Structure 1
Amino acid sequence: MVPWYSVRGFGALKQLTEILTRSNRIATCIIIQRRNFHITSCKRDKLYDPEESYRTKFGPKKGWLDYNDIVYAPTEEGEPPRPAEICHQRDNIMMSPKKFWYAACLVRGLSIDEAIKQCDFSKRLAPKIVKEVLLEAQEMAVHDFNVEFQSNLWIADSFVQEHFRYNNGIRRHARGKASKITLKFSTYCVRLREGQPPKHYYAPEPSGTEKLEEYIRGQRKRRILYSL
């Protein structure tokens, strides 16, 4: 049987495909380097959206550590300085994200010293890993981001994601039987912010008076559909 590329016209098409493939490989090898800048005295907006700010300057966001490369405009006269923010993460943690989630929620909204103390009280593995990541981020804040006091930091964001890597294992059962299990890995991300932690990291539960006012406001907004 005659191969398809030997037919007249298909040979040129094959050569063109090889040229385009080779050019795409060369284009993907180009690396654009960016330097880190100090962000302590930069402008902070009330409606600041980090993803939108990054998208306007560098294009689509690639990863959590790319937030450290964002450069903000200097603050205007009379405005308070923008607090420094340090993003750090650890990949390829051999632990399920469902188990690591409890330790990630434990340190949210706490100061850096209080978060390390809370991690010391637990005997599990996940808080120990969180403590190591916090100490690494604290050292980065002092040496790379020019934060004056290492204790003047609090955890603004702390969450865990499922890592793209996973391994398959075997669980043995009685009578020579076995089953397949999936060993999942986690990625822990943390953001430190300069200053003191807020009084309420999560919105406090409304009081009875506030619930009553919200109920009355909802009753007054009622409308009869398809009426005059």
Structure 2
Amino acid sequence: MPKINRQAGQNIRELALTRRIKSSGYFISAFFTFFLAFLVILNFSFPPIFYLFFIAVALWLIFKGTSLWQRANLADRGAEGEEDIARLLAQLEKDGWQIEYGIRLGNTLSDVDIFCVSPRGKFYAIDVKSHKGRVVADGGKLYRYMGNHKYHFEKDFLVQVMRQALQVRKHKDLNFVTPILAFSKASVAIQSGKLQNVYVVEKAKLISLLQSLG
């Protein structure tokens, strides 16, 4: 089986860089918009609404740039989570496990964070999340506690990792791929450790889970 030579977190680091470049473009455009408005004020006389238009455009550009920069920060945090998990998995490679990172799934924009092959020939797709807090299950869904407050996740991570497992199974022409959702920063308080056929685990217990599954 060919091994894709990508580093842990590489895909999302590249995404973060792309977002920062676009964000910088918005900030530069906002600066020139303000500068152009200043030149117009010095040299021409227009109704106030004309200048308000320039200000509105510049503020919108700043808003877009700030939003993209914040999303880049989130992407970098996600990459750190993948890198943390990769450092743990290095010990499994010494035991004969094969590990690939950032597998692109055909022409889609999605990827599999980590794909593992055990010495016994079992396959695992691991989706890494860098959320903080305490992850719990309620009614077949995942939630997280931050202090005493309970929050929904922004996406259905169980469905997401299940789809990734199915896609990588098709992509590599395999019989079965076990989906695992791994939290690099949060603790996981799910009694069975499994929800909707997806293993949900915190970073400290990932190695023991993989070893037990073989």
* Shared fold per TM-score greater than 0.5: no
- What is the TM-score when the length of structure 1 is the normalising length? 0.25
Structure having the larger proportion of residues in helix: 2
- What is the TM-score when the length of structure 2 is the normalising length? 0.26
